[in-house]
Structure formats: structure tokens, C-alpha cells
Amino acid sequence: SIVFLNDSFMPMQQAKISPMDRGFLFGDGIYEVIPTYDTKLVGFGPHIARMQEGMNLIGIKLDWTEDKWREVVDALIEKNGGGNLGIYLHVSRGADIKRAHAYPNNVAPTVYAFAFEIPAANVADKAIAKTYKVNSTEDLRWKRCHIKSTALLGNVMHYQHGFEQGCNETLLFNENNELTEASACNVYVVKDGVIATPPLDNQILPGITRLILLDILTKDGSLKVEERIVTMEEVENADEIWLTSSSKEVAPVVELNGKAVGNGEIGDVWLAAQSLFSSGKYNY
Ligand code: PLP
């Protein structure tokens, strides 16, 4: 595949970075993943805004406009043949000559981008939808989960915990047994037709799919949705559990810790929500 590194496009095999890059040594960087379905980007503006906010929060100075990102991303999509792609963007603080914790002066950030294939957009059809089995554990990551940091070891270890038990996600709960998110997704519960998801704070990533879904649900108005604390008890007794992320859209969970969620089948509220999400009526 063709990737972008610093200021040029090249085959992935030719892309080289310094072993002194702080992204490599410290996980000192910010990243983004933007989905593209049928060569059409979803949520480009909010994704770039979140990445810029992350860079501001950690003091990486890269003066790229949204238009500059758009040029690079459009070219990357074109050079990789379009279709259904995840666009990965990564800005690390750059390579210094020494390994020192303090932010270096006069070091240019490293910008890296590549495209990878993702499944086609979800279809609002219970017979086709991909379902998820999850387990759960205490959220042992740091207290800055709103920053989309490239330092993902905490998330990787949580995902692996589920994976080793035959699951494809792990739900995370804070020390008060309140739901935070999953290792790479935001989480929702449905009870008696009402959708609830944890509020935005330092415990979760402000997901762009979450932003889009909540906006669609609010505009449509036919389903009730609440942003509030969700307890472990509520998760265990939910009629439906969903995950959202850029490459999953709205994904139904049918099993939690080896037990069926609701009746163990994809729920009707998921169908209604994914139908709105897929309708094409809302453009992001
Ligand atoms: N939470 C975490 C920890 C994530 O890594 C991700 C995305 O990968 C999400 C939530 C979902 O965010 P988005 O919808 O922007 O992909």
C-alpha cells in the first residue's frame, strides 16, 4: 500500500522513521482513524477537530489546516484505490537526539498516514449484522482517556484479556462499578426501549461515531437516549448492549461474560438505530 510520511507518499516498505522518535520511545503522539465507505469519508471534520484538540492538550505544534489534512487524506484514498478504507493518521512529537522526558524544542513532529481495508458499511438487517461477544474487567488505564494517545498498551492489554476468552471486546468499569467504555469502542445499554451511554469526561474517548449517533437519535426523536452514569448492574440486566467505533458503526453485543444479553439475539432498538444511521438521510 501507499503511505504518507512527513511530506511525501511512498510504498509502505520504504517508510522509515528514526528509532529516537518519541512515538516509538514514549508513545508520545496522537492518532485518528477515519472511516471511508464507497470512497466517501465519514465525519472528517469532527475527526480532524478531535486530533487537533489532542495535539493542543499535549503541546504538539503542527500548524496543518483542515484543508491540508483533507488534501493528504484524499490523495491517500485515491492512491489506495478507494472503496471501504480506514484512514489512520498519526502525529508524534518527533525524533530528538537524546531520550529525555521533557518536551524538546525545535523538533518537527512526525506525520504518518496509511489506509487499511475495513468491512463494508453495516446493513440494518439482523440476519447479516456482525455480533459481538464481550467480557468485562476493571478499567486499569490512565485518567486521561479523553486523549486519543498512541500509547495504547492499557487498551491493548484489556482487549487481549477478552480475546483470550474468545471475546471480541472487553467492557470496562471504573472503581465505582460504573461503565466507562470498551478497549476500542464506546458502549450503550438499552432497557425498556431507552438508550443510555456514559457522559463525556476523562474516563472515555469522545467517539466520533458516538457523536454522530447521538446527533442522529436526537434529530430523529423517535428513540429516547440519555447520557448519564451507567452502572454494572444496568449493564448486566440490559435488554441490549451496543458498541460504536469508526470501523464497527453501531454493533450489537449478544453475550456478556458467557451469558446472553437480553434474549441473546440482536435487539429491535439496535435495528431502529442502525437503520437511522444507515439511512443516508443524515450526512456527516
Ligand atoms: N473508545 C476507544 C478507547 C477507542 O479507541 C475508540 C476508537 O477506536 C472509540 C472509543 C470510538 O471512537 P470513534 O467512534 O471515534 O472511532
**pLDDT number for residue 283:** 85
Is residue 199 scored above 90 in pLDDT? yes
Nearest CA to ligand 1 atom 2: 184
185-202 as b/e: b if 16+ CB within 10 A: bbbbbbbeeebbbbeeee
What's the average model confidence in pLDDT over 131-148?
A: 98
Taking the centre of ligand 1 as the mean of its atom positions, its distance from the CA of residue 95, in whole angstroms, is: 27
Examine the pLDDT at 117 and tell me if it is beyond 90: yes
pLDDT category, 280, cuts 50, 70, 90? confident
Closest by Cα among 145, 156, 271, 154 to 200:
145
> pLDDT tier at 36 (50, 70, 90 boundaries)?
very high
Within 6 A (CB) of ligand 1 lie: 33, 155, 181, 184-186, 205, 207-210, 244-246
Quick count: other Cβ atoms within 10 Å of Cβ 252?
A: 26
What is the pTM (predicted TM-score) of this model?
Answer: 0.97
Domain architecture of the chain: domains with CATH = 2-117 (3.30.470.10), 132-278 (3.20.10.10)
The pLDDT confidence band at residue 138, using thresholds 50, 70 and 90, is very high
What cell was used for 165? Answer: 476468552
For the chain, give the percent of residues with pLDDT over 70.
100
Mutate-to-test residue for ligand 1 from 186, 197, 200, 243, highest number of ligand atoms within 8 A of CB? 186
Residue 168 cell numbers, joined: 471480541
Look at residue 272 and tell me whether its pLDDT is greater than 90.
Answer: yes
The band of 281, judged by pLDDT with boundaries at 50, 70 and 90, is confident
Catalytic site includes residue 143: no
Least Cα distance to 50 among 270, 172, 166, 206 occurs for 206
Q: CA 108 to CA 89: how far, in whole Å? A: 16
Query: By the 8 A CB rule, do 197 and 230 touch?
Result: yes
Picking from 164, 163, 180, the residue whose alpha carbon sits closest to that of residue 172 is 180
89 close to 99: Cβ distance less than 8 angstroms: no
User: How many angstroms is it from 8 CA to the middle of ligand 1?
Assistant: 28
Question: Strand, coil or helix: what is 160?
Answer: helix
Half-sphere exposure of 211 (CA within 13 A, CB side): 17
Question: Catalytic one among 40, 68, 148, 259?
Answer: 148
| pLDDT for the residue 33 | 98
* Residue 62 near residue 93 (C-beta atoms within 8 A): no
pLDDT of residue 282: 86
Overall average pLDDT of the 98-127 stretch: 96
User: Which whole number is the average pLDDT over 66-73?
Assistant: 98
Distances (CA, A) of 129 to 52, 194, 252, 270: 33, 21, 8, 10
| Mean pLDDT confidence for 13-35 | 98
